[in-house]
Amino acid sequence: MKTVVALGGNALQSPGGKTTYSKYLSTIHETCRQIAPLAKKGQLLVVHGNGTEVGNLLLQQEASGVEPRMPLDVVVAETQGQIGYLLAQNMASEFSSAGIRKGVVCLITRILVDRNDEAFGRPTKPVGPLYTRGEHGKLRALHRMANVGKGWRRVVPSPRPVDIIEKEEIKALLMDNAVIACGGGGIPVIKSGKGFRGVEAVIDKDYAAALAARILGAEKLVILTDVDGVYINYGTKKRKLLREMDVREAEAYLERRKFGEGSMKPKVEAAIDFAKSGGECVIAHIRHAAKAAEGKNGTIIRNG
């Protein structure tokens, strides 16, 4: 079986993203403990988010005043190395403890996007930490800001992924290794002459994971986050956890705007894209990763 896991929410960071390195490392260690058993069932590709880390690096650049400041695509590459290294270290330890005879490889990955994607004119992807209303007022003159429900965050363009440049390398590596790739949604690039050029954007990791799952012919896409599954009316007294949905039901909920724009909506859209290709997607809490992969937890989305 081929499984693609998308890590987000508290799989990488404590709520709010403000934490010490030791707590950060502890969270990643627990995440790897949860997902390592999935490698026993076959090929495993891990895709991770980087919204908080990208935002923090941008803040560090601005605060230090050190030149040259790196553009957003380079900052995405930096976070791929940072998070990928920590995931690889901890997954390898878990493999060793569990007697799983596989290597762990982190691959810096580029993702092709359309230079004419409308997202470049409408930034919506949250990056960096949460800010209060007072902090938001000071920052909005410098950055595009959006209210994400729990507070304010900086937002940047988030074009849809079109192709994975290193897809053949990922396929080859998966034969003997668990692979960490498309980190942070991948480094966004556009075609330029006979090659590619990086662009200022951050790709949603759920869309990238769904694309990877389709390209690899995976049987299952597991999207892990910090809630127990897909809710409608989330944040209200009428909230309801959905255990199963087919594609038509999911699309109907999307049309009625039942899911958060920068939170659950992209996860459901990614699940629909993958389910239409014949696979099964489950959206669940990181602490239930193993059960979710077996269809015993979270929200399952299928094509009929």
111, two tokens: 């993702």
Q: In terms of pLDDT, which residue wins out, 138 or 39?
A: 39
CATH T-level assignment (fold) for domain 2-218: Carbamate kinase (3.40.1160)
141, 183 Cβ separation under 8 angstroms:
no
Q: In terms of pLDDT, which residue wins out, 13 or 189?
A: 189
Q: Where are the domains of the chain?
A: 2-218
Q: Which of 185, 165, 7, 172 is nearest to 79 (CA)?
A: 185
- Tens of pLDDT, residue by residue over 139-156, are 666 677 888 777 888 888
- Sort 278 into a burial class: Cβ within 10 Å, 0-12 / 13-18 / 19+: exposed
**What pLDDT shows up at residue 14?**
62
Secondary structure of residue 71 in the 3-state scheme: coil
Q: In terms of pLDDT, which residue wins out, 221 or 54?
A: 221
Q: Which sequence positions are flagged as catalytic? A: 9-10, 125, 205, 267
The rounded Cα 97 to chain-centroid distance in angstroms is 27
Full-model pTM: 0.89
Q: Which of 4, 6, 1 is nearest to 226 (CA)?
A: 6
Q: What percent of the chain has pLDDT over 70?
A: 94
- Tens of pLDDT, residue by residue over 252-289, are 999 998 887 767 899 999 999 999 999 999 999 988 99
